Structure 1
Amino acid sequence: MKKVDLYYDLVDRAAMIYHRSLKTDYLDSLLLAACGIIHEDYDSRLDDEDIKEMENICREIYSTEFLNEEVRLASQLLIAKAFKHIGYSLDLMTPDAVNYLIAAAVCHRFRNKKISILDTALGTGNLLQAICNRMDVDPDLFGIEYDWRLAQLARALANLQGNAIIIYYQDALRDLIEKVDLIIGDLDGYDVADDLVLGSKLYGKGVRYFPYLVIDARLRNLKKNGIFIYVVDNDFFSHPGAPVFREEIKKKATFLGVVTLPQSMFHQQHGGKSIFIGTNALKKNHQTIIMTINDTEKNSLAAAVDNIVRLVDMF
């Protein structure tokens, strides 16, 4: 953790230079600092003393060998500070235990393979980077994010880790041309408006729950025998439109299983989440497997990894 702490301290110092000198909020300051570190090119509004300090910070960063995962973990702490500063909910950040679970499953399923991955709810890109940093062959990375600042921060943090990424700055329900091997996403549970213009059968049948709509929409972006892994609320199958969603999806995909995660992985006020796994390959007579990992279960994290790996190995 010493390297993580060092990287955090260096980038935080850089962000505070922008925050102090330009009066930008911490999130924008972090973005400016990250871009400055990547390009070693600093905002012309900084005075000579601040530029000298930025040069010293960059010199120390580039003279120290940091692993990508150390950079990601430090970035996660920096993002948490930024979110607190601007009033964003920390629920927007996928817990790192969940990142680890999904990364372990993906790396197991696609070991020694070159794949493409799309995060349909990119945010700052932490889940996508956690997967990328563990894979033995660098994947092609894509993301969808509607919040401009989060999209820019995701790009900068990916570049700090040396990972190239293509980000589509758009609503998650809009059409996309990319075809990928794996689609992931930590999906917010809410109902969309009634006046959207969508070419969606589900929407036309009155379904408004965002996760149902986005899972259906993104099936078009999976290559043959592609896999999707989503983080969803525990009440995923209890929303209005669930029967319509099931009926429509089973025509073009197979739900492999759902793993309910330990409540201890999430904030107390959160209702808990599950990992939802499926494929666009149609498997006859497959019964969706439901698994629950309890807080009381010994080595619950290891148990969750084992169960998720079993699910992806079914296909």
Structure 2
Amino acid sequence: MERFEQLYRDWKKEAKKLVNDLDVLPIEALVQVFDHVDIEKEKMDDVRKAVSLLVLEETTQLPPNNQPTPDAVSLFMGYLATKLLKENATILDLGSGTGTLTHAILSQLKDATAQAVEVDELLLRLSYSMSNLLGEPVSYFHQDALAPLFVEPSDLSVADLPIGYYPNDEVAASYDMKREEGHAYSHFLLMEQAIRHTKPGGHGLFVIPNNLFEQDDEGKLKQWMDREAVVKGVIQLPTTMFKDERYAKSLLLLQKVGEGVTRPKQALFVELPSFTDVRAVANVVKQIDEWFKTTQK
């Protein structure tokens, strides 16, 4: 813990100096810091935590859809990934942003590789620098995640879904969840895109708004799920994470239809306590472990 805090303080000091001396954006300063620091003698977990904290701190001014996934949420998604995947798995992160989610998941898997798609060049450069720093095998695609993709099918597709409308109606027209009138929801389309590029029987894991299904006023989300995926579980994130409960979020776990894929007798529905309540979180994790043991028999 002490070394992690020292790394964080040192890198923060260097980034602030770059911002003042070179008049660059905070994210640009982080890219330069991560590109040049020497971490040969450091523990990778300390490095990843220091990187994540610094990125979180320096991106608070970004629009909500561009802000990094909180580290506790990213690590919890990584834990779920360990339950879903075997060795040498492939992961796809759509709208990967700063890359904190991708790297938190990879840190918990053995010999996994990732593909990350991000339209914002600066955020992509930051994530690329993190990959180099951490030595994680990530292939990057600089493009709109909803445009046609040329990625390999993945065992697990993830996304911290950007909430809002997608302005490109021409691209949206190729999706089942396009709207009959007006712009389609970008978060609906991104789920559809993710499952398109998931192997049959593979999984999708998404950060969703709690009112996702209430937004399905045309019924297209339900219709799409009935055809393409099985809902395996919904895990509600701690309400303490959100200043306003109206903006609270959950994790949605889907499995793409394929040979041998069936609906679970009992889907996983749990509400996470505050991540600071270690004992309560451990109890919920025990319940989730038991659910996976039961459903994977």
Q: TM-score range by the shorter chain?
A: 0.7 to 0.9
Q: Who is 2:190 aligned against?
A: 214
Alignment of 1:130-149 (within 5 A): 130-135=104-109, 137-149=110-122
* One-letter amino acid matched to 2:143: Q
Identity %: 22
Q: Who is 1:110 aligned against?
A: 85
Checking the alignment, whether the CA contact within 8 Å between 2:165 and 2:184 is kept in structure 1 is yes
3-state secondary structure, aligned to 2:162: coil
1: distance between equivalents of 2:272 and 2:104? 24
Match of 1:301 among 274, 278, 281: 281
1: distance between equivalents of 2:212 and 2:291? 18
Query: Which has more radius of gyration?
Result: 1
Checking the alignment, whether the CA contact within 8 Å between 2:147 and 2:171 is kept in structure 1 is no
Task: Structure 1: state its 5+ residue gaps.
Answer: 38-57
3-state secondary structure, aligned to 2:207: strand
Query: Could you list the per-position Cα deviations for residues 129-172 of structure 1 after superposition, in whole angstroms to 9, with x for gaps in the alignment?
Result: 1111112x221111111111111101101211111211111112
Query: Could you list the per-position Cα deviations for residues 244-277 of structure 1 after superposition, in whole angstroms to 9, with x for gaps in the alignment?
Result: 111122212211121112212x132352111100
1: distance between equivalents of 2:292 and 2:188? 21
* One-letter amino acid matched to 1:27: I
Alignment of 1:8-27 (within 5 A): 8-27=8-27
Checking the alignment, whether the CA contact within 8 Å between 1:262 and 1:300 is kept in structure 2 is no
Task: Structure 2: state its 5+ residue gaps.
Answer: none
Q: Who is 1:44 aligned against?
A: none
Match of 2:94 among 90, 104, 120: 120
Match of 2:156 among 182, 206, 216: 182
Higher relative contact order (CA 8 A, sep 6+): 1
Kindly state the Cα deviation for residue 224 of structure 1 after the two structures are TM-superposed: 2.5
Checking the alignment, whether the CA contact within 8 Å between 1:208 and 1:241 is kept in structure 2 is no
* One-letter amino acid matched to 1:109: L
2: distance between equivalents of 1:68 and 1:277? 28
Stretches of 4+ aligned residues off by more than 6 angstroms:
none
Match of 2:177 among 202, 208, 215: 202
Aligned length: 287
Kindly state the Cα deviation for residue 96 of structure 1 after the two structures are TM-superposed: 2.2
Checking the alignment, whether the CA contact within 8 Å between 1:69 and 1:130 is kept in structure 2 is no
* One-letter amino acid matched to 1:107: T
Kindly state the Cα deviation for residue 292 of structure 1 after the two structures are TM-superposed: 3.4
3-state secondary structure, aligned to 2:187: helix
Query: Could you list the per-position Cα deviations for residues 105-147 of structure 1 after superposition, in whole angstroms to 9, with x for gaps in the alignment?
Result: 2113325x11000111211111111111112x22111111111
Kindly state the Cα deviation for residue 79 of structure 1 after the two structures are TM-superposed: 1.1
Kindly state the Cα deviation for residue 286 of structure 1 after the two structures are TM-superposed: 4.8
Checking the alignment, whether the CA contact within 8 Å between 1:148 and 1:169 is kept in structure 2 is yes
**C-alpha distance 88-211 of structure 1, shift in aligned 2 (>3 A):** closer
1: distance between equivalents of 2:193 and 2:89? 21
Q: Taking structure 1 as the reference length, what is the TM-score of the superposition?
A: 0.81
**C-alpha distance 238-312 of structure 1, shift in aligned 2 (>3 A):** farther
Checking the alignment, whether the CA contact within 8 Å between 2:237 and 2:272 is kept in structure 1 is yes
Structure ranking higher in strand proportion: 2
Kindly state the Cα deviation for residue 188 of structure 1 after the two structures are TM-superposed: 2.2
Q: Taking structure 2 as the reference length, what is the TM-score of the superposition?
A: 0.86
